[in-house]
């Protein structure tokens, strides 16, 4: 272990704060186990993370590419969020079987629905390889370090998984001041088991998103399948439900304010250590641009979804994907401003500079903050161009991405024709068109282009531009430009595209090559590749290098400012307790909500606040079964855990390692926690496990799924503690 990390580990072991931090599970015993146990945890470090015996980590899976799920039965049943499984639910939905509106519950294994491309990944082990990587970098020298590290990582990864079906990946932590190798096992047959109707799973819609009080039953159930010998396998009728190494017991006693709880999952990205110029750019430039672009497209999509059930189903997943980050960024900006994060960052930088200048041998750190500030200022246009490409090309009119998919056919025509593979490539594109047009509405897409075009045309730096697009814009008439674009393209109409693809080869290529959608898409991608990507890559590399030095300096000069490493989609544990909060003067968030709150929000026929008749009936009769408590049924609760995107679907686990809830959101003010976490105001939002069981059993009549779970009643004895009065900030 390096001297720097040894000093850091000693510091954290004695100074770790109770709630802040996303901890690497393999480091718990060295860093925060004492603090966790003092806070109420009844488990040992080995019961949470171990490699020679089953532990809680063996019940946690990376769901798809960006959410978490947990194994909750000995037959591979997994629990995640409704919004995490939303695209799979949407893919199975139709006007005849509207699983979004009505929900879906498989009566048996045979009725469970397959999801091509969906996977569930377990962590086998986590290894600290910092010493090997840093020795390699030191031996290679500064100029050759990056390539040397890449080769060393590949070598260690190959050695770690040789002869197994595992995958290994080495990731940097603390901006390259530490390295860990994550060894994983991925199952590729994951089937949909159950999902509540959207009136439960998305209750409150965009209005309640990132908001408290919350009453959303944001959960869905899937099942992992394996080969008959319990190994990962592609889908097959011969596959059987996974027999997992570990599954979580489901505790039905609930949680009370002050109870110790943990969140175990795969948080995506945080940026806790960036400097004030970076925060200023996010707050004043990046977020406002992204918000405006998404607001423009959402206005179009929301109106179209309200007008047609077919469009509602087609665009449900797309709308959710666009709107989630849109509202998050609005809340993030609010939190950054109200918590005065830029000034707090500046004070840390001032203390950093003072410490560097006052300690012998540390003077080299004194220039780093200024160098970072200059770097951001010099490269702002490339950051802006990249953001606009993402919002326009990837989250704007779909036709651009679809048209770009024909680039290989057009540009490699001669090679494909000579090899006889041209017809095969055309057939692939026909198949691609099937999936595209199933969920595509050309009028909606046309209106999205008209709505986003003025923002893109007027604000995107000129390093990213399209001559074809510019030629369509006359006198700033963006509606007319959009009409001209769609009237001339074959990619917006199934019949027109099929006609083009069935024409003679050379005529087909000529038609596609001159098509405005193809031209705009390829011109934007070329401009990005030539003018933006190299500069942005250089900027990112330089930023990473400077941040690595700054991070090292923070550890040495201001260790009290350093907590756990930033999230990077690797398995992490955060801990805190179930508790409410007073985020602002005159506002108090109670620690939990109930079914009565759903009825108070009920608006008949409303797309966000309608309530199923059966749920109303169960409430009227107070027919909560074993899931109610003191005459009420709890729906959601708050906790003081450090979470971010990717923690969606993470289990909430009590002091004994039992499932008590399901993480799915943060409060509006808490979205700033990606950049700065505050124990005083940051809260995550979870579905109470009893509401999940109630909906599955009493509402949906899928009690067989509850019977499959290992439910327990084992109240956690609360330790005496003072009442915590939170001060408004």
Question: Domain for residue 31, yes or no?
Answer: yes
Question: Domain for residue 8, yes or no?
Answer: no
Mean pLDDT of 162-173: 97
Question: Domain for residue 445, yes or no?
Answer: yes
The residue from 218, 445, 566, 688 that is catalytic is 218
Which residue is associated with the tokens 């899928």?
702
Say which residues have a Cβ less than 8 Å from residue 220's Cβ, sequence separation at least 6.
Answer: 79, 80, 81, 82, 84, 85, 89, 192, 194, 195, 196, 201
pLDDT for residue 146 is more than 70: yes
Say which residues have a Cβ less than 8 Å from residue 275's Cβ, sequence separation at least 6.
Answer: 345, 349, 369, 372, 373, 550
Last residue in a domain, options 546, 565, 585: 546
The span from the CA of 239 to the CA of 229, in Å, is 9
The pLDDT confidence band at residue 404, using thresholds 50, 70 and 90, is very high
Q: Which of 210-219, 589-598, 708-717 has the lowest mean pLDDT?
A: 708-717
For the chain, how many residues are written? 729
Mean pLDDT of 361-369: 94
Q: Are residues 75 and 121 in the same domain?
A: yes
Per the annotation, the verdict on 317 as an active-site residue is no
Question: Domain for residue 660, yes or no?
Answer: no
Mean pLDDT of 201-207: 95
Q: Are residues 297 and 419 in the same domain?
A: yes
Q: Are residues 171 and 291 in the same domain?
A: no
The pLDDT mean for the chain works out to: 93
CB 148 within 8 A of CB 140: yes
Last residue in a domain, options 248, 263, 296: 248
CB 8 within 8 A of CB 562: yes
Q: Are residues 452 and 511 in the same domain?
A: yes
Local structure of residue 59 (DSSP, 8 states): G
Q: Give yes or no for a cis peptide into 213 (omega within 30° of 0).
A: yes
pLDDT for residue 715 is more than 80: no
Local structure of residue 32 (DSSP, 8 states): T
Q: Are residues 189 and 336 in the same domain?
A: no
Domain count, the chain: 2
Tell me what pLDDT residue 10 has: 47
Say which residues have a Cβ less than 8 Å from residue 621's Cβ, sequence separation at least 6.
Answer: none
CB 207 within 8 A of CB 216: no
Other Cβ atoms closer than 10 A to 586:
6
Q: Are residues 239 and 302 in the same domain?
A: no
Question: Domain for residue 284, yes or no?
Answer: yes
Question: Domain for residue 297, yes or no?
Answer: yes
Sort 28 into a burial class: Cβ within 10 Å, 0-12 / 13-18 / 19+. Answer: buried
Say which residues have a Cβ less than 8 Å from residue 142's Cβ, sequence separation at least 6.
Answer: none
Tell me what pLDDT residue 13 has: 45
Mean pLDDT of 478-491: 97
Mean pLDDT of 512-528: 97
Q: Are residues 360 and 401 in the same domain?
A: yes
Which residue is associated with the tokens 């024709």?
417
Other Cβ atoms closer than 10 A to 605:
6
Q: Are residues 376 and 511 in the same domain?
A: yes
Question: Domain for residue 728, yes or no?
Answer: no
Q: Which of 138-142, 272-276, 293-297 has the lowest mean pLDDT?
A: 138-142
The span from the CA of 264 to the CA of 252, in Å, is 19
- Would you put residue 72 in left (φ > 0), alpha (ψ -120 to 50) or beta? alpha
Give the pairing type, strands 711-712 and 250-251: parallel
Nearest to 456 by CA among 516, 401, 506, 393: 393
CB 100 within 8 A of CB 314: no
Q: Which two tokens stand for residue 63?
A: 């769901």
Q: What is the value of pTM for the model shown?
A: 0.90
Per the annotation, the verdict on 92 as an active-site residue is no
The residue from 70, 297, 648, 678 that is catalytic is 648
Tell me what pLDDT residue 714 has: 73
Tell me what pLDDT residue 6 has: 54
- 3-state helix/strand/coil string of 669-722: HHHHHHCCCCCCCCCEEEEEHHHHHHHHHHHCCCHHHHHHCCEECCCCCCCCCC
pLDDT for residue 695 is more than 70: yes
CB 531 within 8 A of CB 464: yes
The span from the CA of 76 to the CA of 191, in Å, is 10
CB 267 within 8 A of CB 646: yes
Q: Which of 170-179, 336-345, 426-435, 614-623 has the lowest mean pLDDT?
A: 426-435
CB 696 within 8 A of CB 200: no
Q: Are residues 244 and 281 in the same domain?
A: no
pLDDT for residue 17 is more than 70: no
Q: What is the pLDDT of residues 373-390, one digit of tens each?
A: 999 999 999 999 999 999
CB 578 within 8 A of CB 591: yes
Q: Which of 124-138, 419-433, 507-521 has the lowest mean pLDDT?
A: 419-433
The span from the CA of 270 to the CA of 673, in Å, is 8
The span from the CA of 667 to the CA of 681, in Å, is 9
Which residue is associated with the tokens 């330790």?
719
The residue from 55, 70, 82, 83 that is catalytic is 83
The span from the CA of 622 to the CA of 703, in Å, is 18
The span from the CA of 266 to the CA of 340, in Å, is 28
Q: Which two tokens stand for residue 654?
A: 């009590």
Domain containing 62 equals 26-35+44-209+219-248
pLDDT for residue 11 is more than 60: no
The span from the CA of 473 to the CA of 628, in Å, is 61
Per the annotation, the verdict on 83 as an active-site residue is yes
Question: Domain for residue 561, yes or no?
Answer: no
Tell me what pLDDT residue 157 has: 98
Q: What is the pLDDT of residues 49-108, one digit of tens each?
A: 999 999 999 999 999 989 999 999 999 999 999 999 999 999 999 999 999 999 999 999
Helices (H), 339-398: 341-358, 368-378, 380-389
Q: Are residues 74 and 223 in the same domain?
A: yes
Say which residues have a Cβ less than 8 Å from residue 376's Cβ, sequence separation at least 6.
Answer: 277, 278, 281
Q: Which residues of 474-500 are buried (b: 16+ CB within 10 A; e: fewer)?
A: eeeebeebbebbbeebbbbeeeebeeb
Tell me what pLDDT residue 584 has: 84
Which residue is associated with the tokens 């098509």?
515
pLDDT for residue 727 is more than 60: no
pLDDT for residue 712 is more than 70: yes
Last residue in a domain, options 517, 546, 575: 546
pLDDT for residue 657 is more than 50: yes
Q: Which residues of 444-468 are buried (b: 16+ CB within 10 A; e: fewer)?
A: bbbbbbbbbbbbbbeebbebbbbeb
Q: Are residues 187 and 322 in the same domain?
A: no
The pLDDT confidence band at residue 725, using thresholds 50, 70 and 90, is very low
Q: Which two tokens stand for residue 51?
A: 């490699």
The values of phi and psi at residue 252, to 5°, are: -95, 5
DSSP string, 429-477: HHHHHHHHHHT--HHHHHHHHHHHHHHHHHHS-TTS--HHHHHH--TT-
Give, for 311, the enclosing helix (H) or strand (E). helix 309-338
pLDDT for residue 557 is more than 50: yes
The values of phi and psi at residue 317, to 5°, are: -70, -40
pLDDT for residue 722 is more than 70: no
The span from the CA of 510 to the CA of 620, in Å, is 66
Q: Which two tokens stand for residue 419?
A: 């090899």
Q: Are residues 238 and 285 in the same domain?
A: no
Q: Which residues pair with 636 in a beta bridge?
A: 687
């Amino acid at each position: 272990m390096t001297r720097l990390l040894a000093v850091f580990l000693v510091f954290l072991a004695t100074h770790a704060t109770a709630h802040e931090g996303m901890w690497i599970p393999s480091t718990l015993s060295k860093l925060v186990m004492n603090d966790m146990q003092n806070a109420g945890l009844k488990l040992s470090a080995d019961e949470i993370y171990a490699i020679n015996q089953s532990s809680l980590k063996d019940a946690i899976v990376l769901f798809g590419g960006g959410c978490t799920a947990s194994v909750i039965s000995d037959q591979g049943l997994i629990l995640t969020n409704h919004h995490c499984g939303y695209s799979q639910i949407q893919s199975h939905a139709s006007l005849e079987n509207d699983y979004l509106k009505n929900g879906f519950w498989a009566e048996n294994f045979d009725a469970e629905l397959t999801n091509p491309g969906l996977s569930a990944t377990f962590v086998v082990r986590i290894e600290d390889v910092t010493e090997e990587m840093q020795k390699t970098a030191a031996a290679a020298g500064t100029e050759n370090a990056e390539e040397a590290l890449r080769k060393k990582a590949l070598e260690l990864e190959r050695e770690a998984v040789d002869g197994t079906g595992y995958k290994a990946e080495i990731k940097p932590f603390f901006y390259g001041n530490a390295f860990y190798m994550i060894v994983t096992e991925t199952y590729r047959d994951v089937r949909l088991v159950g999902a509540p109707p959207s009136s439960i799973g998305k209750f409150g819609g965009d209005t309640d998103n990132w908001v408290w009080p919350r009453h959303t039953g944001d959960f869905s159930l899937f099942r992992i399948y394996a080969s008959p010998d319990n190994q990962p396998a592609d889908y097959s009728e011969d596959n059987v439900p996974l027999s997992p190494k570990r599954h979580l017991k489901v505790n039905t006693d609930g949680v009370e304010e002050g109870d110790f709880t943990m969140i175990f999952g795969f948080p995506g990205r945080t940026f806790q250590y960036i400097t004030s110029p970076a925060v200023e750019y996010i707050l004043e430039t990046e977020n406002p641009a992204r918000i405006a672009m998404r607001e423009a497209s959402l206005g179009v999509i929301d109106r179209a979804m309200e007008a047609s059930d077919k469009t509602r189903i087609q665009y449900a997943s797309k709308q959710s994907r666009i709107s989630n980050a849109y509202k998050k960024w609005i809340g993030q900006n609010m939190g950054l401003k109200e918590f005065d994060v830029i000034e707090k960052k500046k004070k840390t930088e001032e203390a950093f500079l003072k410490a560097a200048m006052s300690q012998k041998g540390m003077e080299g750190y004194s220039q780093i903050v200024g160098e970072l500030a200059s770097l951001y200022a010099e490269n702002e246009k490339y950051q802006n161009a990249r953001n606009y490409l993402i919002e326009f090309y990837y989250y704007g009119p779909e036709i651009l991405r679809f048209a770009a998919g024909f680039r290989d056919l057009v540009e490699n025509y001669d090679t494909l024709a000579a090899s006889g593979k041209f017809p095969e490539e055309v057939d692939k594109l026909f198949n691609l068109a099937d999936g595209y047009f199933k969920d595509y509405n050309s009028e909606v897409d046309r209106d999205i282009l008209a709505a986003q075009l003025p923002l893109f045309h007027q604000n995107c730096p000129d390093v990213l531009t399209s001559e074809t697009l510019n030629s369509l814009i006359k006198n700033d008439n963006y509606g007319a430009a959009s009409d001209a674009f769609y009237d001339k393209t074959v990619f917006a109409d199934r019949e027109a595209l099929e006609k083009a693809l069935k024409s003679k080869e050379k005529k087909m290529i000529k038609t596609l090559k001159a098509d405005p959608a193809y031209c705009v898409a390829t011109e934007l991608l070329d401009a990005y590749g030539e003018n933006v990507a190299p500069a942005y890559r250089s900027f990112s590399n330089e930023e990473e290098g400077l941040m690595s030095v700054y991070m090292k300096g923070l550890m040495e000069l201001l260790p009290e400012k350093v907590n756990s490493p930033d999230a990077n989609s690797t398995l992490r544990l955060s801990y805190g307790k179930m508790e409410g909060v007073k985020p602002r003067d005159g506002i108090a968030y109670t620690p939990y909500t109930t079914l009565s709150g759903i009825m108070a929000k009920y608006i008949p026929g409303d797309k966000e606040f309608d309530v199923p008749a059966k749920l109303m009936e169960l409430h009227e009769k107070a027919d909560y079964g074993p899931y109610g408590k003191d005459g009420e049924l709890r729906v959601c609760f708050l906790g003081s855990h450090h979470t971010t995107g990717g923690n969606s679907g993470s289990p909430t686990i009590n002091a004994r390692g039992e499932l008590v809830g399901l993480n799915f959101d943060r409060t509006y003010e808490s979205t700033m926690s990606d950049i700065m976490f505050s124990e005083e105001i940051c809260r995550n939002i979870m579905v109470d496990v009893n509401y999940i069981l109630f909906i599955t059993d009493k509402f949906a009549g899928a009690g067989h799924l509850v019977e499959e779970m290992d439910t327990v009643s084992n109240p956690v004895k609360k330790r005496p503690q003072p009442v915590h009065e939170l001060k408004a900030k």
